[in-house]
Amino acid sequence: MAESLSGRSINKRKFFSMSRWALGIDLGGTAIKAAAVCEKRGILADRRFLTDTASGPAGIVAQLAAIIADLYRDASRTNEPDNFAGAGLGAPGAVDTANGVLSYPPNLPGWSIFPLRDELRNCLEQQQGLSIPVSIDNDANAAAFGEAVYGAGREFRDFLMVTLGTGVGGGIVLDRKLYRGAHGTAGELGFMILDFEGPSQHAGIRGTLESLIGKKAIVALARQMIDASPSGSSVGKLCNNDYTRLSPRHLEYAAHEGDEVSLAVWERVGSILGVGLANVTALMDIRKFVIGGGISAAGDLIFVPALKQLRNSMLPSMHESLELVPAFLGNKAGIYGAAALCFG
Amino acid sequence: MAESLSGRSINKRKFFSMSRWALGIDLGGTAIKAAAVCEKRGILADRRFLTDTASGPAGIVAQLAAIIADLYRDASRTNEPDNFAGAGLGAPGAVDTANGVLSYPPNLPGWSIFPLRDELRNCLEQQQGLSIPVSIDNDANAAAFGEAVYGAGREFRDFLMVTLGTGVGGGIVLDRKLYRGAHGTAGELGFMILDFEGPSQHAGIRGTLESLIGKKAIVALARQMIDASPSGSSVGKLCNNDYTRLSPRHLEYAAHEGDEVSLAVWERVGSILGVGLANVTALMDIRKFVIGGGISAAGDLIFVPALKQLRNSMLPSMHESLELVPAFLGNKAGIYGAAALCFG
């Protein structure tokens, strides 16, 4: 920080915050979320763009560079450029953080193995005339790190963050640092197999957690349970009896209204999540879980059965200090964490 | 090592090895194995005793102290006492290594939470007149560390060691060090749940890996498959048609002779192991596995289907560098690893 205390900075001190700041970008298959984040004060400004998936890696790199350049120029009007720590990017797929390489991102057609960090850095320099340090990591890791530094994980030294949404993802924090594994693919909780001979599948693998409680699986389970229920369910009227439009939100609403079938659906979803978390505790001795993602909005409908099943799935001697808490940063965990990569 | 180069040591150099040495003890419910281990040359002398389980913690502590004192006095006739690094102990159950406390060891009746390290150190001092540094760890961790330092894990930076026997155990090595978790219970692979609604149980938990491929489960599976087989199995004559005496050894022998049922039993056992290992890879990005324990003597009968299933249970992008190797140190991994704790 010595540089920021020299000449120019001190003169501007009354206008500029002295805290470090960075840009955090969350690259998704549908949207790119971006923010300028102050290390101390959190998000200063954030934006959202539709991902230009059609133009492949080069197109997305150009789009990211334009977003970063724009946000950087805006934010550096009120934040000391000398305190700028860089741009962090969370991306779907396996990320080799040391070399900045992204492999096989799902939902980004046309990508295979791509040196995203260096390409983005080059593009920023050549197309935007900006020399900016870039860090990249997996999006689930970025979200977990965001919760670790700014959110529900602040009080935990070790925890796993679970993201419940279309997919089921995970990010692991050990000793307040991201645990990435040797190839950067650690934390793939959605691929945890809980029912190896079961009927459900995901990416051709049977009985994975995502195949059991990903968004599609929850809806399919609900339709099955509604069909099997002799007394029916009040969910029907929430989706105008068009069950192709059934969503977890409807099930959440109906459950809060006391609909037995919806309550049973969430009970089962939470319970299966609990089995998955028990495997994490058995293997890694992690006993703190931060639960985020759109589906986690169901809250205690999921959390209560999950914690119960988690306890029932392990020896009593390992029940000590088990805890399940809701994520705190919502869909901003990724941008927070991506920015925090630059403060590391 | 400066001390060992002073006066007395140098004079004795022609008689004494200059390498460090330690005692490694493997405390089991049936037997105590103990050895003097030279850091460079490996086991110098080893012994085996029946565990005095009937006298509870105090009795076993006295027994351990006597064994350690005896072995120490013998070994220090030919090994420089100045180079003695201490006694390491692998014990069943959860071990808090920082405080040297053992919790709820299975197969040791009458134990609950016990300060084993300090009690053993005190007993050595008071009953044997020896002041010896003592380190303790979980037995599966000790075995994994033994393989890491002296065995099949030497070439792997990160790996999981699986012990297949009466129970199914695991020990995790990350960056060549033991990964113990916050409470010392990491690596409980036997409690990994693979069939959460299945009929099998172990310690009251459904569908765990141990309930599926522990020794009892293998024998039960074989009996079931023999009963169901229209053409019968040659295993019957190996146990004189007394199926209560059926053991994995019989199934191994029969499979090598081409018995279809026995081959199918191992195929299924290996395949289920592969599912369990896939969960380890998904969660921790560990791709190297060292397989030990009595049941692992079945070798490729287990290894081939396990590796096949492991690959089939994850995305092709994660197949890179998956490897399954047999443990190298047999039932001496625990004493090697316990001694190695002292060299750490």
pLDDT higher than 50, residue B5: no
DSSP B166: S
Interface probe with B: pick from A178, A273, A283, most Cβ of B within 10 Å: A283
Instruction: Show me where the domains of chain B are located.
Output: 2-139, 152-327
Among A278, A147, A269, residue whose Cα is nearest residue A210: A269
Q: Which fold has domain A13-145+333-343?
A: Nucleotidyltransferase; domain 5 (3.30.420)
Inter-chain residue contact B181 with A157, CB threshold 8 Å:
no
Q: Give the chain A residue whose CA is nearest to the CA of B198.
A: A195
Are A324 and A156 spatial neighbours (Cβ–Cβ below 8 Å)?
no
Inter-chain residue contact A275 with B184, CB threshold 8 Å:
no
What is the rounded average pLDDT of the residues B289-308?
A: 96
ipTM over 0.85: yes
How many whole angstroms separate alpha carbon A328 and alpha carbon A322?
18
How many whole angstroms separate alpha carbon B51 and alpha carbon B54?
9
Per CATH, B2-139 and B152-327 having the same topology is answered: yes
pLDDT higher than 70, residue A13: no
Identify the weakest region by mean pLDDT among A63-77, A253-267, B105-119: B105-119
- Output the pLDDT for position B2: 38
- Output the pLDDT for position B344: 80
Q: What is the CA radius of gyration of chain A?
A: 22
**Residue B45, φ and ψ in degrees, nearest 5:** -160, 140
E-strand stretches of B79-221: 84-91, 94-96, 101-103, 113-114, 134-138, 159-164, 168-174, 177-179, 201-202, 205-206
Q: How far is CA A46 from CA A33, A86, A335, A339, in A?
A: 7, 16, 9, 12
Q: Which fold has domain B152-327?
A: Nucleotidyltransferase; domain 5 (3.30.420)
Mean pLDDT (chain B) is 92
- Contact pairs from chain A to chain B, CB under 8 Å: 131
Most confident of A16-20, A238-242, B295-299: B295-299
Contacts A105 to B, Cβ<8 Å: none
What tens digit of pLDDT does each residue of B214-268 get? 999 999 999 999 999 988 889 989 998 898 999 999 999 999 999 999 999 999 9
Segment holding A103, helix H or strand E:
strand A101-103
Interface probe with B: pick from A174, A177, A284, A312, most Cβ of B within 10 Å: A284
DSSP A13: T
- Residue that wins the pLDDT comparison between A17 and B329: B329
Homologous superfamily, domain B2-139: ATPase, nucleotide binding domain (3.30.420.40)
Local confidence band at A107 (pLDDT 50, 70, 90 cut-offs): confident
pLDDT higher than 80, residue A5: no
Residue A28, classed as helix, strand or coil, is coil
Local confidence band at A320 (pLDDT 50, 70, 90 cut-offs): confident
CA dihedral A115, A118, A120, A124 (to 10 degrees): -160
- Output the pLDDT for position B14: 47
Give me the count of residues in chain A.
344
pLDDT higher than 60, residue B15: no
Structure tokens at A300: 């205690």
Inter-chain residue contact B196 with A279, CB threshold 8 Å:
no
Among A94, A290, A95, residue whose Cα is nearest residue A191: A94
CA dihedral B173, B177, B181, B185 (to 10 degrees): 60
Q: Is A156-326 a CATH 3.30.70.100 domain?
A: no
pLDDT higher than 50, residue A3: no
Q: Are strands A84-91 and A21-27 parallel, antiparallel or unpaired?
A: parallel
pLDDT higher than 80, residue A254: yes
pLDDT higher than 70, residue B6: no
